[in-house]
């Protein structure tokens, strides 16, 4: 077991905390640490954006990095909680398999995928990660290891899916894979001149299994809410499952905080919109699902101040008007989001009480962290709450305690506590 005390932050670089970080080598060491501490939180690769996996005592799961079993005749994989999705991709794609559900980055752990119950660009069709989860092993506050599934310890199973690590330490995960015909995707790009056209594209092209949109939040007038929607489907490729080497670029240092300002962000959005080309083309898996992974350490673009992602989901009946109100509120503020992603969601499993998506639309907005962005978040919270929406706890850093529509005091173990949990509880 290795132990160090240092300053850590998650991907948004805000907030940060001085923490004791312990990396146990095996389950025995994990058990010893769990029993010896009155408060701790498990942490994977730190790709959540806010304060979800931060605390004074952090148990890193990254040493739990073994793929335990691959039953590829059945499309089932079992791995330790610290295995990265990127490592699994290197094993499963050459064999003709992919994830039913994947988030937009692949450097997250399998345990983190469960704790956040991640979703992707195909929620109306495939739901969240928990839809395809068979079982997991969980170490509770007593040091006991429980197998949790829909049939065994079912309540704990569903409390842990999207439970932000508050029920215990996930040790291993077993889930189903999806057979794919090749490593190629057919991508259709639709250019929308305003917000009405963005929503019309999502509604008109529902036959595509994958969809995600980008909004230019700086546009105004007749171009208000303009953007692009990227649809995709898997295509036959004569058994070609090789993934081309990604040409990665790296941000080697934190940019000065003045680089991202309203003017530079407006120019960036203008460039993105003008370079978009309507039509269909073939792309590889990584290009469609993980475009951000091509730029390593892209969070450094925001400087050491970091950034705030505000990701919310609204019920379908209120999605268009609600997102229009959100964009108008942002336009009337001093804040300018650098990046925004719009997704459509379907029904969720009724047991998945902590899953983020609800039937409707979600919008993720990345803001440089300024002194005034917190005032904007409070204004956005009021709109989202009033329309029956919620925010994504995995990305949250500063929303009101009620906004995740979850009460951490109503379930889980007191021992497993993060900054996020303390903030929600008002501690």
Q: For residue 319, how many other CB atoms are within 10 A of its CB?
A: 23
| CA–CA gap between residue 37 and residue 14 (Å, rounded) | 25
The per-residue pLDDT for 247 is 79
Cα torsion 70, 74, 75, 76: sign: negative
| Contact (Cβ atoms closer than 8 angstroms) between residue 110 and residue 83 | yes
In SS3 terms, 304-316 reads as CCCEEEEEEEEEH
The per-residue pLDDT for 409 is 85
The per-residue pLDDT for 58 is 98
Q: Which token pair is 64?
A: 């739990």
The per-residue pLDDT for 237 is 78
| Contact (Cβ atoms closer than 8 angstroms) between residue 177 and residue 133 | no
Q: Which token pair is 12?
A: 């948004």
The per-residue pLDDT for 427 is 57
Helix 316-331 to helix 195-204 angle, to the nearest 10 degrees?
Answer: 150
In SS3 terms, 129-192 reads as HHHHEEEEEEECCCCCEEEEECCCCHHHHHHHCCCCCCCCEEEEEEEEEEECCCCEEEEEEEEE
DSSP string computed for 60-103: E-TT---EEEEETTTTEEEEETT-BHHHHHHHHGGGTEEESS--
The per-residue pLDDT for 240 is 79
| CA–CA gap between residue 211 and residue 345 (Å, rounded) | 10
The per-residue pLDDT for 242 is 85
**Residue stretches of the chain with pLDDT short of 50:** none
Report all structural domains of the chain as residue ranges with CATH numbers, in order of start.
Answer: 2-61+417-425 (3.30.43), 67-180 (3.30.465.10), 184-401 (3.40.462)
| Burial of 7 (C-beta count, 10 Å sphere; 0-12/13-18/19+) | exposed
């Amino acid at each position: 077991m290795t132990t160090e005390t240092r300053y850590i932050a998650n991907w948004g670089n805000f907030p940060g905390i001085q923490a004791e970080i312990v990396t146990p080598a095996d389950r025995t060491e994990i058990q010893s640490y769990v029993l010896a501490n009155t408060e701790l939180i498990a942490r994977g690769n730190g790709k959540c954006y806010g304060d979800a996996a931060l605390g004074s005592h952090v148990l890193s799961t990254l040493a739990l990095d073994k793929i335990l079993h691959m039953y590829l005749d059945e499309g089932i994989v079992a791995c330790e909680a610290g295995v990265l999705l990127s490592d699994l991709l290197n094993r499963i794609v050459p064999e003709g398999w992919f994830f039913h559900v994947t988030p937009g980055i692949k450097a997250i752990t399998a345990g983190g995928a469960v704790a956040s119950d991640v979703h992707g660009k195909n929620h109306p069709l495939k739901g969240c990660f928990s839809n395809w989860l068979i079982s997991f092993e969980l170490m509770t506050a007593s040091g006991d290891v429980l197998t949790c599934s829909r049939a065994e310890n079912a309540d704990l199973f569903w409390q842990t899916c999207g439970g932000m690590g508050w029920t215990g330490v996930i040790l291993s995960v077993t889930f189903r894979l999806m057979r794919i015909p090749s490593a190629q995707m057919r991508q259709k790009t639709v250019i929308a001149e305003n917000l009405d056209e963005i929503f019309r594209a999502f509604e008109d092209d529902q036959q595509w299994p994958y969809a995600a949109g980008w909004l230019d939040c700086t546009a105004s007038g007749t171009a208000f809410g303009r953007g692009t929607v990227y649809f995709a489907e898997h295509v036959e490729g004569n058994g070609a499952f090789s993934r081309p080497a990604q040409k990665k670029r790296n941000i080697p240092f934190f940019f000065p905080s003045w680089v991202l300002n309203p003017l530079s962000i407006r120019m960036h959005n203008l460039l993105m919109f003008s370079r978009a080309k309507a039509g269909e083309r073939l792309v590889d898996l990584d290009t469609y699902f993980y475009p951000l992974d091509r730029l390593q350490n892209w969070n450094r673009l925001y400087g050491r101040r970091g950034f705030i992602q505000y990701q919310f989901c609204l019920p379908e009946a209120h999605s268009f008007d609600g997102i229009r109100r959100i964009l108008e509120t942002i336009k009337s503020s001093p804040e300018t989001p650098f990046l925004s992603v719009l997704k459509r969601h379907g029904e969720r499993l009724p047991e998945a009480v902590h899953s983020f998506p609800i039937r409707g639309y979600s919008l993720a907005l990345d803001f440089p962290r300024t002194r005034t962005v917190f005032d904007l978040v409070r204004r956005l919270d009021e709109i989202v709450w009033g329309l029956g929406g919620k925010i994504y706890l995995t990305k949250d850093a500063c929303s009101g305690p009620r906004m995740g529509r979850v009460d951490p005091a109503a379930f889980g173990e007191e021992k497993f506590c993060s900054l996020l949990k303390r903030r929600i509880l008002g501690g």
